[in-house]
Amino acid sequence: MDEKDRSDVSAIPLQEIKEEVISVAAMQRHIMPDPERVTVFGEYDMVGKTLPSAVVGGDFYSFIDLERRFGIQGKMGVVIADAAGHGLAAAMLIRDFNTALHTAISFQSFYVQNTTPLLFTKINRRMFRSSEPNQFIAAFYSELQLSGTIRYMNAGHPSPLLFKKEKVVPLDRGGPVLGVFPDPPHEYQVGEAFLEKDDVLVCCTDGILEAMDCTGREYGYGRLEKVVAVHRNLSSQGLFDAILKDVETFSRDVGQTDDRTLILIRKGMKPHDC
């Protein structure tokens, strides 16, 4: 930025900057689901929430009705993403990612009805053009079918965990984060899993996994798995709330230093069940 640009930026009235931040915060709320409502898709309960560390943040999640929006029958899109950095710059990058995602889904749905590596390839190119150096997005996108099959790609995001009756399965197939390379060194890989009755899928950003206590310990996958094991018989909303409460309790002496986003998807248990 040259001296003229610096002068122009510093001359912007503080009120205008505040109004711009408020506008971006409203935009973020608009493009994400209502955190107070459980989304129902067939036999699935879907709950999500973002807790920014400032007025605006760089985390994002969404449940995309693929049939209503793109004519892809029997599928729900699930996405969670985390832009590098914090504040306004990260929030604007998330806005660009959301636009790129919907454009890529529309393009792909015109040709095929299944998730393919081309989806993230197209998004990556868009993010590379629109992001500054050292800016990138870690993202996980999946298409959940009514049958229980979930096809997904993970672009450098903390692996979501699929809690089955006898084991925990990380959803880690994919490739690098979006926006660093004009073309990734390897094609994105598509993973596949299957959700059976009472299975739980938990997706979260690193603001949860890297939350620290006063001794410097991170929350981590281990504690997350223990909380799910202890509270698994709660309703979908109850289990979701138990995870967020445990993270808050764990890090209360340090406080929240990063955006936190959590998604929980459960098959076979309604929100009011105990």
CATH number for 83: 3.60.40.10
Higher pLDDT, 53 or 200: 200
In a domain, 128, yes or no: yes
Instruction: Quote the pLDDT of residue 130.
Output: 82
- Contact by Cβ (8 Å): 163, 232: yes
C-alpha dihedral over 91, 191, 204, 243, to 10 degrees? 160
Q: Which two tokens mark 116?
A: 């393919």
Quote the CA–CA distance of 54 and 40 in Å, as a whole number.
30
Q: Which two tokens mark 180?
A: 């660093």
Instruction: Quote the pLDDT of residue 185.
Output: 83
Instruction: Quote the pLDDT of residue 26.
Output: 59
Q: Cα dist. 124→100, 136, 146, 178, 253 in Å?
A: 9, 9, 28, 5, 38
Q: Cα dist. 232→80, 102, 194, 274 in Å?
A: 22, 33, 19, 10
**How many domains does the chain fold into?**
1
**Among 139, 181, 184, 178, CA closest to 157:** 139
Q: How far apart are the first and last CA of the chain?
A: 57
- Contact by Cβ (8 Å): 208, 219: yes
What confidence category does residue 202 fall into, taking pLDDT thresholds of 50, 70 and 90? Answer: very high
Q: Taking the mean position of all CA atoms in its chain, how far away is CA 4?
A: 38
Q: pLDDT exceeding 90 applies to what percent of the chain?
A: 64
Q: What is the mean pLDDT of the chain?
A: 87
In a domain, 274, yes or no: no
Domain carrying residue 241: 31-267
Q: pLDDT exceeding 70 applies to what percent of the chain?
A: 85
Higher pLDDT, 9 or 102: 102
Instruction: Quote the pLDDT of residue 223.
Output: 97
In a domain, 9, yes or no: no
- Contact by Cβ (8 Å): 201, 264: yes
Phi, psi at residue 227, to the nearest 5°?
-65, -45
Instruction: Please determine, for residue 193, whether its predicted confidence score (pLDDT) is greater than 90.
Output: yes
What confidence category does residue 205 fall into, taking pLDDT thresholds of 50, 70 and 90? Answer: very high
Question: What amino acid occupies position 168?
Answer: V
pLDDT 10s digits, 146-167: 999 999 999 999 999 999 998 9
In a domain, 209, yes or no: yes
In a domain, 22, yes or no: no
- Contact by Cβ (8 Å): 260, 211: yes
Q: Which two tokens mark 25?
A: 């915060």
In a domain, 239, yes or no: yes
Higher pLDDT, 121 or 7: 121
In a domain, 26, yes or no: no
Instruction: Average the pLDDT over 42-46 and give the result.
Output: 95
Instruction: Average the pLDDT over 163-174 and give the result.
Output: 96
pTM of the prediction?
0.88
- Contact by Cβ (8 Å): 83, 137: yes
With a CB cutoff of 8 Å and minimum separation 6, the contacts of 240 are 47, 49, 262, 264
Instruction: Please determine, for residue 274, whether its predicted confidence score (pLDDT) is greater than 50.
Output: no
Return the minimum-mean-pLDDT range out of 68-77, 118-127, 262-271: 262-271
Instruction: Please determine, for residue 18, whether its predicted confidence score (pLDDT) is greater than 90.
Output: no
